[in-house]
Amino acid sequence: HRRYTITLLPGDGIGPEVISVAKDVLLLTGSLEGIKYDFREMLLGGAALDATGVPLPEETLSVAKQSDAVLLGAIGGYKWDKNEKHLKPETGLLQIRKGLQVFANLRPATVFPQLVDASTLKREIAEGVDLMVVRELTGGIYFGKPRGFGTNENGEEIGYNTEVYAAHEIDRIAHVAFKIAQKRQGRLCSVDKANVLEASMLWRKRVSAIAQKYPDVELSHMYVDNASMQLIRYPKQFDTIVTNNIFGDILSDEASMITGSIGMLPSASLGDSGPGLFEPIHGSAPDIAGQDKANPFATVLSAAMLLRYGLGEDKAAERIENAVLDTLNRGLRTADIYSAGTKLVGCKQLGEEILKSVESNVPAG
Ligand code: NAD
Ligand code: IPM
Ligand code: MN
């Protein structure tokens, strides 16, 4: 048996609901593939605030750092929305990303043939879309200084943030993106706002320079406003996208809708060393939390990414991905991806059906 320590961070809202499904899926695939897990469930976000007074307890970060990989549900909720910044659930999420130094956030958006009818785009536009957003995750306006509240020269209240990138931060995310593009279709589109922002001008310069080292990758550049339009106009033009922290946040939510729902998109956050952080791209969905309506596929697919990118367990990852496709083939859907002729189920029941698909191990297709 191979043995791994996995830190589980269920978080808030639908986080615990989807993590519970993903944990069961990991356990069953593990038992079929000769993998044992030591799960350590820790507090993050609002759950941590309520229990300890801070959104990222020191113990959570140290346990996460010592584990082989971290699987996160989602954080946040109305209850904490008015908290001061350092006491917001979101601050805990940013702190753990920074603490684990996971600067490269991989967000694949794949339209499964079974879900073309769930897309809000026309069939011929959505069909066959398969793109990867490589989002820089530990820099940019999320972390730039100066930031804060103050007053301007008229004595008026202001809030301000700084979009800043150092050359090395751009270089390392660019290398990750070029390597991913090499393994995909060899096309990389760097998305920026270099017509206006200095941080984007440097971004474009560094990415262009690094392109020399990857002659087999075709690099293009696009302004973010155009990119958000092109994603909806003709998404198949994209293979790999590399972009900064905030543009990647926004574009990946947009891309998710092409696939049918934000409840379908997983992510992997990786650094140069240490454990990776794996999470769905969606949030805690307070509007449906506690109602057994959440789509667990994004988190289950994040568990597959954990196996592939975090542990190098490709066979187990494939088993999970095949199970997701098999469950879809059997017509089972949560409300967010429901369409006529399919069967509506809740989060728990979908979880049980995914387990049946894991057992039957039907090949993809
Ligand atoms: P959200 O992603 O939580 O929800 C947006 C919409 O998508 C909602 O209508 C929700 O019901 C739906 N949705 C999201 N995930 C779904 C799923 N798995 N299945 C079915 N429907 C799903 O974004 P929001 O409403 O802007 O934010 C809610 C809270 O989550 C906020 O506190 C926000 O800060 C936080 N948030 C956390 C993360 C994270 O933990 N990584 C990500 C985004 C937002
Ligand atoms: C995400 C979320 C977070 C982000 C928030 C909750 C801090 O939107 O994971 O996409 O902006 O990175
Ligand atoms: Mn987001």
Neighbours of ion ligand 3 (CB under 5 A): 249
Which of these three, 262, 281, 314, is where a domain ends? 262
Considering the candidates 12, 249, 326, 336, report the single residue annotated as catalytic. Answer: 249
249 part of the active site: yes
DSSP code of 152? Answer: -
Task: Looking at the structure, tell me whether residues 319 and 361 fall in a common domain.
Answer: yes
88 part of the active site: no
Considering the candidates 117, 253, 338, 356, report the single residue annotated as catalytic. Answer: 253
Task: Looking at the structure, tell me whether residues 131 and 5 fall in a common domain.
Answer: no
Task: Looking at the structure, tell me whether residues 138 and 228 fall in a common domain.
Answer: yes
Provide mean pLDDT across the span 30-57: 98
Q: How far apart (Å, rounded) are the C-alpha atoms in residues 160 and 151?
A: 10
For residue 1, the model assigns a pLDDT of 87
Q: How far apart (Å, rounded) are the C-alpha atoms in residues 43 and 46?
A: 9
Helices (H), 34-122: 46-52, 58-66, 89-99
> Which pLDDT band, with edges at 50, 70 and 90, does 364 fall under?
confident
For residue 359, the tally of other CB atoms under 10 A from its CB is 13
pLDDT reading at 70 higher than 80: yes
Report the chain's mean pLDDT, rounded to a whole number: 98
Task: Looking at the structure, tell me whether residues 252 and 287 fall in a common domain.
Answer: no
192 part of the active site: no
Task: Looking at the structure, tell me whether residues 84 and 153 fall in a common domain.
Answer: no
**Digit-coded pLDDT (tens) for 144-193:** 999 999 999 999 999 999 999 999 999 999 999 999 999 999 999 999 99
12 part of the active site: no
Ligand 2 atom nearest residue 137's Cα: 12
**Which structural domain range is residue 182 located in?**
107-262
CATH of the domain at 163: 3.40.718.10
Task: Looking at the structure, tell me whether residues 96 and 148 fall in a common domain.
Answer: no
Task: Looking at the structure, tell me whether residues 201 and 249 fall in a common domain.
Answer: yes
β-pairing verdict for 240-243 and 2-11: unpaired
Task: Looking at the structure, tell me whether residues 167 and 248 fall in a common domain.
Answer: yes
Q: Residue 148 is which amino acid? A: G
**pTM flag (> 0.90):** yes
Which of these three, 262, 284, 302, is where a domain ends? 262
Task: Looking at the structure, tell me whether residues 26 and 160 fall in a common domain.
Answer: no
In 224-334 the beta strands, taken as DSSP E runs, fall at 240-243, 268-270, 276-278, 332-333
Counting runs of H as helices and runs of E as strands, what totals does the chain give?
A: 12, 14
Q: How far apart (Å, rounded) are the C-alpha atoms in residues 64 and 58?
A: 10
Q: Is the ipTM of this complex over 0.90?
A: yes
What's the total number of domains in the chain? 2
Distance 138 CA to ligand 2 centre (A): 12
Task: Looking at the structure, tell me whether residues 185 and 47 fall in a common domain.
Answer: no
163 pocket-lining for ligand 2 (C-beta < 6 Å): no
Give yes or no for a contact between 300 and 26, defined as CB atoms under 8 angstroms apart: no
193 part of the active site: yes
- Taking phi over 0 as left and psi of -120 to 50 as alpha, with beta for the rest, 88 belongs to beta
Strand partners, 221: 190
Handedness of CA 349, 351, 354, 358 (dihedral sign): negative
Which of these three, 203, 237, 262, is where a domain ends? 262
Distance 142 CA to ligand 2 centre (A): 10
Task: Looking at the structure, tell me whether residues 184 and 65 fall in a common domain.
Answer: no
Task: Looking at the structure, tell me whether residues 196 and 234 fall in a common domain.
Answer: yes
Distance 262 CA to ligand 3 centre (A): 10
β-pairing verdict for 276-278 and 69-74: parallel
Ligand 2 atom nearest residue 89's Cα: 6
**Digit-coded pLDDT (tens) for 188-236:** 999 999 999 999 999 999 999 999 999 999 999 999 999 999 999 999 9
Considering the candidates 225, 272, 287, 314, report the single residue annotated as catalytic. Answer: 225
Tokens in use for 94? 């940013």
Distance 238 CA to ligand 3 centre (A): 20
Q: How far apart (Å, rounded) are the C-alpha atoms in residues 225 and 203?
A: 16
Strand partners, 110: 130
